[in-house]
């Protein structure tokens, strides 16, 4: 029994691959390396460098490696940029999922864990988001992730398909010093890059209706996230019923100012962040309940804010000159 991990050479995907290995579930990686790195894939894990738009390659990988389930993380992940590249976003995230599901049906693979996103909610008008909170995506990225959830639901009505979708919030940290986040849009890499280059990190907006005036977000450790993917995979393989969607949230938000304070403490680099104007469309607060995932997927916040920052900084320091190339 093996599990195909699309996007398995990326930041989150590589952590999921390691977690599957540690749990005795044989992972197989598919990645086109558009944002991932071959060095993130362990040498003893089969790696197929191809696009999820290549159905023959996907079917060949599933057949050759006797794949019994898929964890689908591949996709175009930049919500803000997706507004400028809607066709690319829909091709990668919607058409790519369609092709993947076609390959699964053709090869008899009947289990899938789908990487969804908090972007499906848009700007919620509640303090604590649950799975019942209405979805109102505000970008092609968020819309494409919601369509992915619908695709799984609709295919499962017509064919044997066990599935669940995991909505991520702000994924940070590192579970291993040789794995790190290289996104040009995520807060931790942006701050670390600024510090490494001698620039002052920036906060976008200091006048929000929050305790310290900066945006409040839901930060979760990537290793905790990966663990719940493994639990979901095991339960689907065993035929256990899961909810169609789970929020992987902390239930307790952290402000951007608190993140900056933690980074200053961990790195030992003194800085006073520059506070600029708000970015259009940034909600004051997005925090999610993880109660359903806690009940079904052994979801827990095993790392506090200090551990999140310290693990991310350690991996960034080890990468050194190799980051992010």
**Coil, strand, or helix at residue 247?**
strand
Q: Kindly give, in sequence order, each residue whose CB lies less than 8 Å from that of residue 158, ignoring residues fewer than 6 positions away.
A: none
Tokens representing 317 are: 């320091």
141 flagged as catalytic: yes
Q: Pick the catalytic residue: 141, 180, 208, 246?
A: 141
- Residues annotated as part of the active site: 141
């Amino acid at each position: 029994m093996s599990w195909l991990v699309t996007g398995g050479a990326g930041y989150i995907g590589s952590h999921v691959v390691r977690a599957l290995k540690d749990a005795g579930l044989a992972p197989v990686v598919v990645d086109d390396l558009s944002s991932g790195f071959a060095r993130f894939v362990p040498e003893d894990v089969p790696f197929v460098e191809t696009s999820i738009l290549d159905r023959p390659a996907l079917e060949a990988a599933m057949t050759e490696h006797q794949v019994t389930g898929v964890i689908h993380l591949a996709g175009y992940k930049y919500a803000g940029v997706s507004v400028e590249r809607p066709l690319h976003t829909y091709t990668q995230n919607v058409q790519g999922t369609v092709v993947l599901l076609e390959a699964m049906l053709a090869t008899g693979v009947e289990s899938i864990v789908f990487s969804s996103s908090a972007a499906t909610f848009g700007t919620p008008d509640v303090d604590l988001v649950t799975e019942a909170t209405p979805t109102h995506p505000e970008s092609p990225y968020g819309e494409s992730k919601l369509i992915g959830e619908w695709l799984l639901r609709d295919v499962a009505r017509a064919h044997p398909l066990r599935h669940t979708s995991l909505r991520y919030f702000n994924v940070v940290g590192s579970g291993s010093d040789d794995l790190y986040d290289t996104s040009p849009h995520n807060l931790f890499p942006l701050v670390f890059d600024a510090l490494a280059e001698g620039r002052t990190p920036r906060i976008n907006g200091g006048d929000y209706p929050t305790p310290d005036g900066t945006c409040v977000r839901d930060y979760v450790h990537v290793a905790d996230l990966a663990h719940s993917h493994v639990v979901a995979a095991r339960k689907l393989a065993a035929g256990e019923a899961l909810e169609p969607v789970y929020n992987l949230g902390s239930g307790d938000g952290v402000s951007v100012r608190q993140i900056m304070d933690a980074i200053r403490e961990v790195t030992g680099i003194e800085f006073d962040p520059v506070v600029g104007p708000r970015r259009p469309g940034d909600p004051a607060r997005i925090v999610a309940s993880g109660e359903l995932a806690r009940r079904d997927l052994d979801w827990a916040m095993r790392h506090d804010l200090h551990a999140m920052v310290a693990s991310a900084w350690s991996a960034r320091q080890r990468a050194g000159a190799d980051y992010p190339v």
